[in-house]
Structure 1
């Protein structure tokens, strides 16, 4: 029963899971489990004090055992359903973050759960040394419903972008007539990768070099060399740096996510396509956040009609399980050879079977049309609820990726919303409220979110 609070079964499972003693099979000595977590709580024990003790234990042990690279509120979520989540106290939240645009089908979708359970009971992992059917079935879906001829699997968005960087650089070497395995001629061709201000391509050393925030890069310098960054939506600036024999690839998000929910114009994307063709460079669309239905179309670049040479995907593809992918044209695929790149976990049958289910649901034209409709409801509802507030400058986005541009920091509003049971996150320089709810969010939930944000804006944005 979710309507009035956390179910006893869900809380009991969560609390029991926190208390399993250390295994003795490898010589570990069992420790005494905390009193709060030794057994399933009775109905009488499911109280505020019980939840408080449980939450305190989890938060304290997280700080003790996990590297502190995240600033998190003292909330422990225990379960979810659709666009709703519950914490250990039984408090209900509307999830308009969706795990940062990952949970496209929301929480505990029964179709996704059935797919995961089915495949987990058959075969979950064999490595990429052998064939599995789910991997091929997913690749066929992705290729036959896109510009691409081939797919390559990774585990995350940043890994997908790393792969695309490698593919682009080898392609440039082969295109120049060089032996790509000859270290003496390794730099005698195009190697530059162009990206744009406001971009976010990941946190590994190659993808990080293409990402705009200095605070992400500076502590780890030097990152990958050869990146050239120019202003987003500035075609003249791009033209000045995209050069034949120098530029291997151009990476761009058709809609910037972390950068501030900034859709690229058709003219800008078409201009990049033309410049890449003239320079024999590859055009790469990063659709890690906006691909697979988020914008109301299957792929974000479909709004422009411009097609890339490669496209990177990740977040929503397996409905919450880790997966990344690069879709690429045959001209790029044909330069890659066995051993050039790989991954132990990527494309395993468990995540691919789940991803097939997610893809089949989201790619349905009626589902995509519903995303478009609900996105329009969300933006119009926010404009109405926030009308007249002097700190609200713009509400923008496509489909169910939406940004509210403020002229002040968005943190206070985001925190106040969380206290009222609405989960939203920030973007840009911290001055944008980002809303990326599950694609299955309801009209009633959209209305509730808009109403609460409108009320809170009057209190917080003064």
Structure 2
């Protein structure tokens, strides 16, 4: 029996080394990593710029606390809100922490407590974030949750209109539900949400923990929709694997988060800021993002060439792609892919999720699609 708690269903391999999209286990076997730490290692493993950034910063100072000014935090915040309608940032350590901050900010600013989220959503595992998550399996066994959350069907305009009233502080959603099955918001639903928020005293929180930082081919996924969020939460890819998260908010919210209202010991520490700034400098440029979009088109094209449309539903945006396998449970497919040298992750029980590094090459995509064809169609494929 391990000295670790058994709260993860771990695969019996240990990843000990990685470079770009390729990782190796303890036995020296190589894999194409199309999980990238579940959409975290956006620039791949051991990216030279990230290695250099953390090495340089480690020789200066690791931690000071937020008792003191942080020019690095200011620069990073300015980079994240440049050329959008958002104005201010708060930095923390994870997506769950970011969503906790978003929930607190929305409640405090509006003076209301009721928050609408959606079925099959996922926002984290702390009590507030867990309550915001619209999945019973995440709630089970933990007793009373945070009060005044309502879960509605995703992409159901009528259900949303019927649920909205003066008690609602915020609507909180993912543009693409990652853990829930790579479910993409419809244009109609996005438009309806924005109209409701524009015409009511209701804030819009967009959870970009998984979809942000170039994952869908734009800086943030909401940029491809009619949504204009008041608060955006982020984590995962923002520091390429270093624990880091945060929220962005509009100027109207600035006074609400005054001194003493919220905080974190490690959030925005110099090591994390140095790595995150390097990620943003690499990802937030048109050439890089256009390349992500081209790779997405190539990946989807290749998948559709080998997977029959009547058996498999391919959906998503950018390099966040789901393969729904005709209602079949995908757990064994994930094991089969691992055996063939490809690491993928589920998005719910029926969907295979592909979230490779944004630096993945077309050649690596070809190899991955060959393995996917082999395991899903049980054909003999040379990779």
Range class of TM-score, shorter chain: over 0.9
Aligned to 1:222: 144
Aligned to 2:179: 258
Deviation at 1:135, TM superposition (A): 1.2
Aligned to 1:400: 319
Aligned to 1:53: none
TM superposition score normalised by structure 2: 0.96
Deviation at 1:223, TM superposition (A): 1.1
Runs of 5+ consecutive residues of structure 2 not aligned to the other structure? none
3-state DSSP of counterpart to 1:416: helix
Deviation at 1:305, TM superposition (A): 3.8
The answer (yes or no) to whether the contact 1:158–1:207 under 8 Å persists in 2 is yes
Which structure has the greater CA radius of gyration?
Answer: 1
The answer (yes or no) to whether the contact 2:194–2:226 under 8 Å persists in 1 is no
Aligned to 1:126: 64
Tell me which of 366, 369, 374 is aligned to 1:455. 374
Aligned counterparts, 1:168-183, within 5 A? 168-173=106-111
The answer (yes or no) to whether the contact 1:155–1:345 under 8 Å persists in 2 is yes
1:253-305 per-position Cα deviation (integer Å, ceiling 9, x unaligned): 11111111111122211211111222201001000000110001111011114
Tell me which of 33, 38, 63 is aligned to 1:95. 33
Higher RCO (Cα < 8 Å, 6 or more apart): 2
Distance (Å, rounded) in 2 between the aligned partners of 1:215 and 1:257: 16
RMSD: 1.2
1:42-78 per-position Cα deviation (integer Å, ceiling 9, x unaligned): xxxxxxxxxxxxxxxxxxxxx5211110011211111
Off by >3 Å, runs of 4+ in structure 1: none
Aligned to 1:234: 156
Tell me which of 323, 335, 348 is aligned to 2:256. 335
Distance (Å, rounded) in 2 between the aligned partners of 1:146 and 1:437: 27
Deviation at 1:81, TM superposition (A): 0.3
Deviation at 1:146, TM superposition (A): 2.9
The answer (yes or no) to whether the contact 1:266–1:306 under 8 Å persists in 2 is no
Distance (Å, rounded) in 2 between the aligned partners of 1:151 and 1:360: 17
Aligned counterparts, 1:141-290, within 5 A? 141-173=79-111, 190-244=112-166, 246-290=167-211
Aligned to 1:322: 243
1:174-216 per-position Cα deviation (integer Å, ceiling 9, x unaligned): xxxxxxxxxxxxxxxx210100112101111111111122111
Runs of 5+ consecutive residues of structure 1 not aligned to the other structure? 1-62, 174-189
TM superposition score normalised by structure 1: 0.80
3-state DSSP of counterpart to 2:276: helix
3-state DSSP of counterpart to 2:352: strand
